[in-house]
Amino acid sequence: MEDNLPINVREYQKLAKKALPKMHYDYINGGAEDEYTLRENIAAYGRIMYCSPHQLFTTSLKSGSLLFSVYYTGEVATARAAAACNTIMVLSFSSSCRIEEVASSCDAIRFYQLYMCKRRDVSATLVRRAESLGFKAVVLTVDRPVIGRREADIRNKMIAPRFVNLEGLMSSDNDIESAEGGSNLERFSRETLDPSLSWKDVEWLKSITSLPILLKGIVTAEDARKAVEAGVSGVIVSNHGGRQLDYAPATISALEEVVKAVEGAVPVLVDGGIRRGTDALKALALGANAVMVGRPVLYGLAARGEAGARHVIEMLNKELELAMALCGCRSVAEVTRAHVQTEGDRIRALL
């Protein structure tokens, strides 16, 4: 073990800020417009308190494997870190490494995150490539009909990496001259992705693959019920990390509504704002079956490469196990709603 390693995600974030060019740090760390939702994703966890812990129990803990899913970009190093930690990696549509390269790098359990393209043949090709390479599920992102106004990227004239998995399938011009308003991401989104995505497209996606399909970007009970009716295999409560509609609710605030609407029919995952194992425990207590982390892993990658990504996942797991122990939970199955008190609970108690 190296000396003076970061001891939490926030310390990794500080190192990442020093290590990355400002343009790239702002890209992974920023949100839409005033970044209220970005901040609220994190702050909302701080308003959830634990109830009085019960500590008289045997101390053998089983937090379970495959609890954390790591996603966004991160490529081969993230895949290896995920494999080492026995967790799931979700490979982004916009990865700068080819699907094949990530698949051959290790035996990590992999999901493929898909944005629906205007050309359905391109979407179908990407899904079939992932399926042939042993990916275990498709994560369809449904909260990006158009790209949010990411002012840091506009100001920095952010130029995204080449989308290598689209080469030979469609144009993905990333030249600075193609950027409108500073960042080229808006033009890419407008020319490539389908803003008319609907429930019929979920049906189409089911028709071309045998892989389970999870919908990412569900934040209301109505959409959660529709997702179940559409026959998906899971839903992910997500607001795109605060990158899309600013002043949308924090995901942890929307989680319980979605869980109740689903009624146990499919697993519910949640992302956005998770910076501690204690955050993960709160999400589990409010009904999530698992949590997903993106930015923390990117901080680890920026600071220390693959070793940093692995260390971040390990830290979150250890923090979770400690929080479980202090709440009297010997396994994830013992985590219940009674372990946390939300703002709503406190208000109702006063009535």
Amino acid letter, residue 43: A
Long-range CB pairs of 305-308 (<8 Å, 24+ gap) are 305/77, 306/77, 306/78, 306/80, 306/81, 308/12
User: Is 115 marked within a binding site?
Assistant: yes
User: Is 273 marked within a binding site?
Assistant: yes
Amino acid letter, residue 39: R
User: Is 216 marked within a binding site?
Assistant: yes
C-alpha distances in Å from residue 258, one per residue of 28, 224, 227, 248, 342? 27, 6, 11, 15, 16
Candidates 129, 97, 131, 121; CA nearest to 169 is 121
Catalytic residue among 24, 54, 240, 339: 240
Amino acid letter, residue 250: A
Query: Six-digit token pair at 124?
Result: 């179908």
User: Is 313 marked within a binding site?
Assistant: no
| Spatial separation of the C-alpha atoms in residues 211 and 139, rounded to whole Å | 10
**270 pairs with which residues across the strands?**
237, 291
- The residue count of the chain comes to 351
Q: Are 287 and 71 in contact (CB under 8 A)?
A: no
| Spatial separation of the C-alpha atoms in residues 225 and 48, rounded to whole Å | 26
User: Is 128 marked within a binding site?
Assistant: no
| Spatial separation of the C-alpha atoms in residues 303 and 20, rounded to whole Å | 8
User: Is 336 marked within a binding site?
Assistant: no
Candidates 234, 285, 286, 284; CA nearest to 256 is 286
Q: Is 24 a catalytic residue?
A: no
| Spatial separation of the C-alpha atoms in residues 166 and 123, rounded to whole Å | 10
Query: Six-digit token pair at 167?
Result: 């080469």
User: Is 141 marked within a binding site?
Assistant: yes
User: Is 305 marked within a binding site?
Assistant: no
User: Is 27 marked within a binding site?
Assistant: yes
Q: Please name the helix (run of DSSP H) or strand (run of DSSP E) that holds residue 237, with its range, or none.
A: strand 234-237
| Spatial separation of the C-alpha atoms in residues 255 and 270, rounded to whole Å | 7
Task: Determine if residue 264 is left, alpha or beta; phi over 0 gives left, psi from -120 to 50 gives alpha, anything else beta.
Answer: left
User: Is 253 marked within a binding site?
Assistant: no
User: Is 92 marked within a binding site?
Assistant: yes
User: Is 238 marked within a binding site?
Assistant: yes
Q: Residue ranges for the binding site? A: 27, 92, 113, 115, 141, 150, 216, 238, 240, 243, 271-275, 294-295
Q: Residue ranges for the binding site for FMN? A: 92, 113, 141, 216, 238, 271-275, 294-295
Q: Residue ranges for the binding site for glyoxylate? A: 27, 115, 150, 240, 243
Active site residues: 240
